Amino acid sequence: MGYLRLQLQASVLFCVESCIRQFVAIDCFKAVDYSIRPTNPAILEGGPCIKYYEKHELLDTVSQTVPKTDGMEVFNPPVKFILLNIDQSYIIAERFEMIILNDGVTTMMGWTPMRKQQKMEALKRGLDSMDKYRLS
């Protein structure tokens, strides 16, 4: 069911001690419903929030029928769907994985090795501080 996979790519500004631009991909597995809308132009700083829900009113009406099968196939065993909400957009899928496409440091041209090392250490400290929020 490769056709039920959706991938979003984003640029994220990650600020710990200094700011580093990260490029990430969010893989959505068994995506059964989504609505991609432009970001809210009223946001001045900080960007849209990304929210993850295991229970939400949108999940109450999700069918167990496999998309693009004209109702002939159902998920067996049944799938527990979750919701990822990004500003005005949402995706309903079985699982989400976020992948850092680059580290935001080693691809910077003209930086000295010492400057790259300092940025990598700051990035590692920031990611380590976020580890307690990791979903398992």
Which comes out higher in pLDDT, residue 14 or 65?
65
The pair of structure tokens assigned to 126 is 């920031």
Does pLDDT of 123 surpass 80? no
Q: Which residues, in sequence order, are CB contacts of 25 under 8 Å at separation 6+?
A: 7, 8, 9, 10, 98, 99, 101
The pair of structure tokens assigned to 38 is 């432009």
The pair of structure tokens assigned to 43 is 């946001």
The model's pTM is 0.67
Round the CA-based radius of gyration of the chain to a whole number and report it.
18
CB 7 within 8 A of CB 28: yes
* CA separation for the pair 40, 78 (Å, rounded): 35
Strand ordering across the sheet containing 82-86: 33-35, 89-93, 82-86, 50-53
Residues 46-105 pLDDT 10s: 666 778 899 999 999 899 988 888 888 888 898 999 999 988 889 999 999 888 776 555
The pair of structure tokens assigned to 64 is 């167990």
Q: What angle do CA 46, 50, 54 make, to 5 degrees?
A: 160
Distances (CA, A) of 99 to 8, 95, 102, 103: 10, 13, 9, 10
Query: 3-class DSSP state for residue 57?
Result: helix
Residue 95's pLDDT is what? Answer: 92
Q: Which sequence spans correspond to the domains of the chain?
A: 2-133
Residues 99-114 pLDDT 10s: 877 655 555 566 678 8
